[in-house]
Amino acid sequence: QVQLVESGGKLVQAGGSLRLSCAASGTTSSARSMGWFRQAPSKEREFVAAISWNGQMTYYADSVKGRFTISRDNAKSSVFLQMSNLKPEDTATYYCAADRSTLTARAMGTSQWDYWGQGTKVTVSS
C-alpha cells in the first residue's frame, strides 16, 4: 500500500507562483509513475501532469504546458508541481496520484492510477 499526502495549496494572486508537494509513504517502490490531477467546482477530475520513475518522461495537459513543471525526488519519496503564471482557471483541488506501472500515455486518464491523496486546495484570485 502507498499513502499520499499533498501540501502547499493556498490562496495566490493571478500571475503568481506556487509549489505543491506530495509525500509518499508505505511501500514506496509501488509508486513508480506519479502524477497530479485537479478538480474544480462543478468540473470532472482532469489530468495535469505525470512523471516516470527516472524523471526522463513527463506528460502535461495542454492547459498547463509552459507554466507548470512536475519533478520528483525519489530519495524523499516525493513529487512536486511547480506552478507559475497562475490563472483563475487553475483554481481547483489538486490530487497526487501514484501507480505501480511504468508511465504511459494512459496516465492522462484516471483509471490507471492505483493510489490517490486527499487533495490540497489552490485558489487563484484575479
* Structure confidence by residue, pLDDT tens digits, 60-76: 999 999 999 999 999 99
Nearest 5°: the CA angle 2, 35, 58 is 135
Q: Could you tell me where the beta strands, DSSP code E, fall in 1-126? A: 2-7, 11-13, 18-26, 33-39, 46-51, 58-60, 68-73, 78-83, 92-99, 115-116, 120-125
Helix, strand, or coil (residue 30) = helix
Question: Which residue, 80, 72, 68, 36, is CA-closest to 54?
Answer: 72
Q: Which three cell numbers stand for residue 94?
A: 489538486
Q: Which residues contact 70 (CB under 8 A, 6 or more apart)?
A: 35, 36, 49, 50, 51, 58, 60, 79, 80, 81, 82
What rounded mean pLDDT belongs to the chain? Answer: 95
Query: Residue 24: its pLDDT value, please?
Result: 96
Which is more confidently placed, 107 or 93?
93
| Residue 65: per-residue pLDDT | 97
